[in-house]
Amino acid sequence: KQEVTQIPAALSVPEGENLVLNCSFTDSAIYNLQWFRQDPGKGLTSLLLIQSSQREQTSGRLNASLDKSSGRSTLYIAASQPGDSATYLCAVTQGGSEKLVFGKGTKLTVNP
Amino acid sequence: DAGVTQSPTHLIKTRGQHVTLRCSPISGHKSVSWYQQVLGQGPQFIFQYYEKEERGRGNFPDRFSARQFPNYSSELNVNALLLGDSALYLCASSFDPYEQYFGPGTRLTVT
């Protein structure tokens, strides 16, 4: 059974800091990995999708990497801003299914 | 293009009642999935439908059911509501295999 873990559960940083969020999964036979952002009480916004054949994806100040063999992904946020404050969720799918298996998320607070 | 839409936004029900939640996918998306997210947890998979057929079911009791219509919109039904069914219910749609786009969710409170 696939399990996804995100560390840390919460993170508070000053504005302008570069930071890394971690995601690990127990079964390396994944099809892809998605990072999402969730604002309080809201739906999920897709940030980056990494297919199993890829090592990283970049969008603006965000960079996500994937190491399937070790069952790990990281989300790097450069020059953090207060508007980046949200919960960041990592999720994986496995071949033959669109079912996303999520971690519990990392709650990020960027202080002005 | 409009994103995934869900209705209603909020809902308050009493234990034992029945509820229907609705979802309209992004235009052109034929796959719809439903997730339940309780406070402080990641979303949990409930159902996936593709071309009106159930493609996947999560570990939820038979009180939960869903269907997809010819226009690819979907309904999630929950019978005999329990306090533990209080959660944010999220709908996602996809065109490519596996890249999913989520709606704003329906907040269900059971009292």
Chain-centroid distance of CA B72 in Å reads 13
In the predicted model, is pLDDT for residue B10 greater than 90? yes
Q: Tell whether A91 lies on the interface with B, counting CB pairs under 8 A.
A: yes
Kindly report the number of other CB atoms within 10 A of residue B75's CB atom.
16
Distance CA B21, CA B107 (A): 10
pLDDT tens for each residue of B19-33 = 999 999 999 999 999
Say which of B43, B48, B101 has its CB closest to residue A46: B101
Chain A residues with CB-CB distance to B21 below 8 A: none
pLDDT tens for each residue of A27-40 = 988 989 999 999 99
In this predicted structure, what is the pLDDT of residue A39? 95
- Would the CA dihedral through B102, B103, B105, B106 be positive or negative? negative
